[in-house]
Structure 1
Amino acid sequence: MTVDTNNDQALIEALSKVTTATLTTVLLKKGLRNVWLRGAAPLNPGQPRIVGRAFTLRFVPAREDLATPASWSSPISTRAAIEAMPEGCVAVVDAMGVTDAGIFGDILCARMRKRGVAALVTDGVVRDVAGVRATGLPVWCSGVAAPPSVAGLTFVNWQEPIGCGGVAVFPGDMIVIDDDGAVLIPADLVEAVTEESIEQERLEGWIMSRVDEGVALPGLYPPNEENKARYAAFKAQVR
């Protein structure tokens, strides 16, 4: 997929103002229900909302002849994958939901941070958690574990379709992550979803202002024809 970097930056800036909750609603209206990556929770409270294109990595179950410390020096390794990550990407790692083997530790996260990777998202866990936090790399994961990845997983490739948290993720899909978790926007739908999500946020902001005024929810959320007209008048005034 070829990305228009100028337009991409504008989309990322716009999506940084949209919640993942809003995005799931907009995507649901487009028929996409399975877009929230299960098991990817913020490692630290208060992490900023992050938006970026997915850079995918894939693990499979551990096999004793392959999942060894020696594999860390292989050309097909997490170390090599990190060196291929472009600045601003979101690393999305399929760890099969394994929670007793940490896929990345402090040194790998420090290198990702140095390369300008925006965030790490996985349905697995990390290790060396104090060191990972110290790197400043925003991480969404299923928790922490002391054992290394090879104790339960074999790394096999990067930049191919994966399943992370029960969601199909393709390289170049847009990932938005905040306190509610990680949401995927298919690459071909990013522009349309961004536009509709901005409008949804504007509408919900207006609805919230009406709630603050004491207006009852029936007919307001969702708005009936009368409230749609009021909202249209509001938009006309603020333009």
Structure 2
Amino acid sequence: MTFGIPTPGKIIAVHLNYPSRAAQRGRTPAQPSYFFKPASSLAPTGGTIERPAGTELLAFEGEIAIVIGEPARRVSPEDGWRHVAQVTAANDFGLYDLRAADKGSNVRNKGGDGFTPIGPAAIPASVAGEDGWRVRTWVNGELVQLDTSDTLLFPFGRLVADLSQHMTLETGDVILTGTPAGSSVVVPGDVVEVEVDAPLAPGAPSTGRLVTTVTQGDAPFGDFGTKPAVDDAQRIEAWGSEAEHAAAVAAGKASPLDAPTASDEAAAASAAPEPSPAALTDEVRELLSSAAVATVSAALRKRGYHDVFIEGVFANHPGDRIVGTAKTLRFIPFRPDLFKEFGGGFNAQKRAFDTVAPGEVLVVEARGERGTGTVGDVLALRAQVRGAAGIVTDGGVRDFDAVAEFDIPVFSQGPHPSVLGRRHVPWETDVTIACGGAAVQPGDVIVGDGDGVLVIPAAIAAEVAAEAAAQEAEDAWVAEQVAGGASVDGLFPMNAEWRARFEATRSAEAAAAEAAR
């Protein structure tokens, strides 16, 4: 190891230990379960990891690693932490393509050379209690995992005690204590960084960043062992969600669902479907940006969409407008046991704000409950930094004055100082929600101004935008006539005579514009 401890005799990893990860997996274990990783999988910071030829689902897992000091045999959970000498960072890489080969033992999918980077420095365990540690992971500079050891299902001392019932934990043995939510797939060229620190300890000691670069291997697997194989369920689980997988497909980083495995690249290329065109093209965005919500509402009403208005929300800045595609977040009513399990760590709320994409509007279902905050200054700033087009919540906003200082438009029911644990549990992202009485699906187009916020189904966004823009031009011409002294009788709405004048004016303007080219 790079921090002065000889190669460990044992590297033991925990399958599931963070509530955020358990929620992502859809199961919470009653007791910890483990697997071994070989010492040959260790790697230092600054190294590379090879994604083997014929595979596609290499996933990172940033983790807190604890290093045994005084040997432990049949110790109690209360004494377990005393046997930990050092704490460091680790990355428990795994290859979903080989996950089925060895079931829970993970021999082949997690035992490859370089699959356990560790370091770069170790922190004495004595600088903080077992609840005082934080792990963060970045991919290509973007924070994707953040959680703390005070949320663990099975604290460090309990892991040491449990394992010591079955074997002697010896000096230098390493325990990888589980990964929080946010683990996903990386591709050749990606750079993964993991850091563990004790942020509340004096000096906030840190391991420094454990850096690993992903490369592409070219040596094929032989015919004398299990071949890589993936299916759609594995693709979705590896990427973290169906929405994350779809985004990766759109970015050219992942195979589409129902595609053959990477070991049959030629067949995959012929079978891959064309990606669906984006509902909010630059042209549609420009048209909607110049159209009033009231005008868009009329175009939707003509098509039978009467309940697409998000009721009760207003902007934090007078004159704010938003146009973007919906990314959704859902809260459920508060319940102490559910909040304890799903409210901490890198929960659904944090994941939503940490993964919102440029041009997206984060739409939050808070059931119209304004008696607590659903977004505060830190999360609003995170959305702004990521380039979000706005935030819409049918709940309250915490740190309202601070949020109002940001540029990002936020539409809400108003301020409230309380945090989530008063009324809400952050539950899920990227699902169909109900916000302010309107159904919102991921990818719907959201428009908002001083009149409120509307939801445009993605399939009709282009035609609604075109009609709204045409109506805006007509309304502007009518306003000019009224300003010039014309009566509204017969002009608003236009009768045949006034329409003929309008069409003649438009034709003349078009001809003049053409001549000027």
> Structure 1 length normalisation: TM-score?
0.93
CA–CA separation in structure 2 for the residues paired with 1:45 and 1:68: 38
2:387 to 90, 99, 116: 116
Cα 1:133–1:101 shift into 2, 3 Å: same
Return the match for 1:67 from 339, 342, 346. 339
Is structure 2 residue 400 aligned with structure 1 residue 129?
Answer: yes
Counterpart of 2:376 (choices 77, 102, 105) is 105
Deviations 1:123-150 (A, max 9, x none): 1111011222233321000001111012
Alignment of 1:35 with 2:308, yes or no, is yes
Q: Cα deviation per residue 1:198-218 (whole Å; 9 max; x = unaligned)?
A: 110011111111111222222
User: RMSD across aligned C-alpha pairs, in angstroms?
Assistant: 1.8
Letter in 2 for 1:102: G
* DSSP 3-state at the match of 2:439: strand
Aligned-partner Cα distance in 2 for 1:46–1:178: 7
SS at match of 2:338: coil
> Measured at CA, do residues 152 and 206 of structure 1 come closer, stay the same or move farther in structure 2, by a change above 3 Å?
same
Given residue 40 of structure 1, which amino acid in structure 2 is its aligned partner?
V
AA partner of residue 303 (structure 2): K
Within 2, Cα distance between the matches of 1:170 and 1:77?
Answer: 17
Tell me the distance in 2 between the aligned counterparts of 1:23 and 1:6: 16
Which residue of structure 1 aligns with residue 420 of structure 2?
Answer: 149
Q: Give the secondary structure class of the aligned counterpart of 1:127.
A: coil
- Contact 1:68 1:150 (C-alpha < 8 Å) held by counterparts: no
Q: Secondary structure at the match of 2:309?
A: coil
Secondary structure at the aligned position of 1:189 is classed as helix
Partner of 1:209: 480
The higher radius of gyration belongs to 2
Tell me, what secondary structure is at the counterpart of 1:101?
Answer: coil
The total of aligned residue pairs comes to 237
Give deviations 1:29-69, integer Å, cap 9, x for gaps. Answer: 1221112210110112232x221001111111111112249
TM-score by length of 2: 0.44
Deviations 1:183-229 (A, max 9, x none): 11110111100111111001111111111122222211111111111
Tell me, yes or no, if the aligned pair for 1:22 and 1:201 is still in contact at 8 Å. Answer: yes
- Assess, with a 3 A threshold, how the Cα gap between structure 1 residues 45 and 33 changes in structure 2: closer, same or farther: same
Alignment-mate amino acid for residue 96 of structure 1:
R
Distance (Å, rounded) in 2 between the aligned partners of 1:26 and 1:33: 10
Match of 2:326 among 46, 54, 58: 54
Question: What is the aligned partner in structure 1 of residue 462 from structure 2?
Answer: 191
Q: Which has the higher helix share?
A: 1
CA separation of 1:7 and 1:187: change in aligned 2, threshold 3 A:
closer
Could you list the structure 1 runs, at least 4 aligned residues long, displaced by more than 6 angstroms after superposition: none
SS in 2 for 1:195: helix
CA distance in 1, matches of 2:507, 2:335: 62
Shift of 1:70: 7.0
Percent identical:
35
2-structure distance, mates of 1:120, 1:72: 22
Structure scoring higher RCO (CA < 8 A, sep ≥ 6) equals 1
The partner residue of 2:293 within 14, 20, 23 is 20
